Amino acid sequence: MKEFEQFKKIIQEKKSFILTTHVNPDADAIGAELALYYLLERNGKNVRIINHSPTPYYLEFLDHDNVIEQYSSDKHDEVIVNSDVHIFLDLNQLNRVVKMENVFRSNYKIKICIDHHQDPENFADLLIDDIQYTSTGEIIYDFIKFSRLTAIDNKVALCIYAAIMTDTGSFRFERTNSKTHLIAAELLKYDLEPREVYNQIYEQAPISRQKLLGRALNTLTLSRSGKIGYMLITQKDIKETGANESDVDGFVGYCLAMKDVKIGILFYELPNGFKMSFRSIGNISASKLASEFGGGGHFHASGARLYDADYQQYIIKVIDTAEKYVA
């Protein structure tokens, strides 16, 4: 891949690197960042991972060296401005870094985007993206093999395994193929237990999350056609259960997992707006639906965030729009 060639050259020529990922990061985001961090660090590079959001509690085990920093403009703008290369992982629209968007847009440095979502924004000097990949972690795996800039070891194997496991829905989504399993087979030669990784990520929830799920399920509604399932979480639910935004990961699946339902939507009220998670099946494009509201993502899993907007004024409009996709 000529992009890998170019990426390797940039790594060899430049000294300092900032890695970042999207708001509310998942295991692919964190795993890909850390795997690339180790590669760069081992090549003597000056590298920092600076993220908009904190690492969710269930992913802290991936960052056992505690290298991920949470962005604050006082602390980080200067180091961002003074670094040679900015690398964006698991996102392809710069607004996905929210409060960091401005400092990245207004300071010209080499920008590299490494991602596997649909419809990239044209902001990067080097775009390494392919929607055939299960995960950004898998792209990093291929780059490690291609570049030979580091060896896989226990730490890197764990990060990449967690990225692939979660972004394939534990090896069941459609992009899962024999290559995915061959990579997993190699990673399992290192010191990691599938059962243990799954348990860390999916089975360590605080009770607040399960209580929040109960509330969300209570709001579950079918649209007129019966083909759209949706639910709502408000800030009141968050406050009263003591849960937080990262606890909601996976909830939208319940909207879709019903007979005849083709689109699932989760509405989540933010302190300053709201976000939507979309899931679809068959030939229905969730990313296209999300793009109607300024968002994006994958064909079957997408989202959108609207700031300074009230979800109550949007629900009917969103459901009506989604009805067109299932008609």
- Asked if 52 touches ligand 5GP (CB under 6 A), the answer is no
How far, in Å, CA of 166 to CA of 217, rounded? Answer: 23
How far, in Å, CA of 91 to CA of 115, rounded? Answer: 6
Say what angle helices 136-147 and 2-13 make with each other, to 10 degrees: 70
- The identity of residue 89, as a single letter, is L
- The identity of residue 68, as a single letter, is I
Q: Which does 298 bind (CB under 5 to 8 A by kind): Mn ion, ligand 5GP, none?
A: ligand 5GP
How far, in Å, CA of 319 to CA of 291, rounded? Answer: 14
Q: Which does 28 bind (CB under 5 to 8 A by kind): ligand 5GP, Mn ion, none?
A: Mn ion
Binding characters for ligand 5GP, 3-22, by CB under 6 A (x = yes): -------------------x
DSSP-derived letter for residue 62 is: G
Cβ–Cβ contacts within 10 Å for residue 270, how many?
16
Which residues is 111 bridged to in the sheet? 86
Three-state DSSP class for residue 47: strand
- Asked if 137 touches ligand 5GP (CB under 6 A), the answer is no
Q: Which is nearer to ligand 5GP, 28 or 47 (CB)?
A: 28
- Asked if 31 touches ligand 5GP (CB under 6 A), the answer is no
Q: Which does 305 bind (CB under 5 to 8 A by kind): ligand 5GP, Mn ion, none?
A: ligand 5GP
- Asked if 280 touches ligand 5GP (CB under 6 A), the answer is no
**Site for Mn ion, rule CB under 5 A:** 28, 90, 135-136, 167
Candidates 247, 252, 259; CA nearest to 205 is 247
Stretch that binds ligand 5GP, among 74-82, 228-236, 302-310, 316-324 (CB under 6 A): 302-310
Residue sitting closest to Mn ion (CB): 28
Q: How far is the CB of 203 from Mn ion (least distance, A)?
A: 21
Both tokens of 260, joined, read: 């005849």
Residue 241 buriedness (CB in 10 A; 0-12 / 13-18 / 19+): buried
How far, in Å, CA of 289 to CA of 226, rounded? Answer: 18
- Asked if 301 touches ligand 5GP (CB under 6 A), the answer is yes
- Asked if 168 touches ligand 5GP (CB under 6 A), the answer is no
Q: Which is nearer to ligand 5GP, 14 or 288 (CB)?
A: 288
Q: Which is nearer to ligand 5GP, 192 or 290 (CB)?
A: 290
List contacts with ligand 5GP (CB under 6 A): 22, 93, 96, 117, 252, 277, 295-298, 301-305
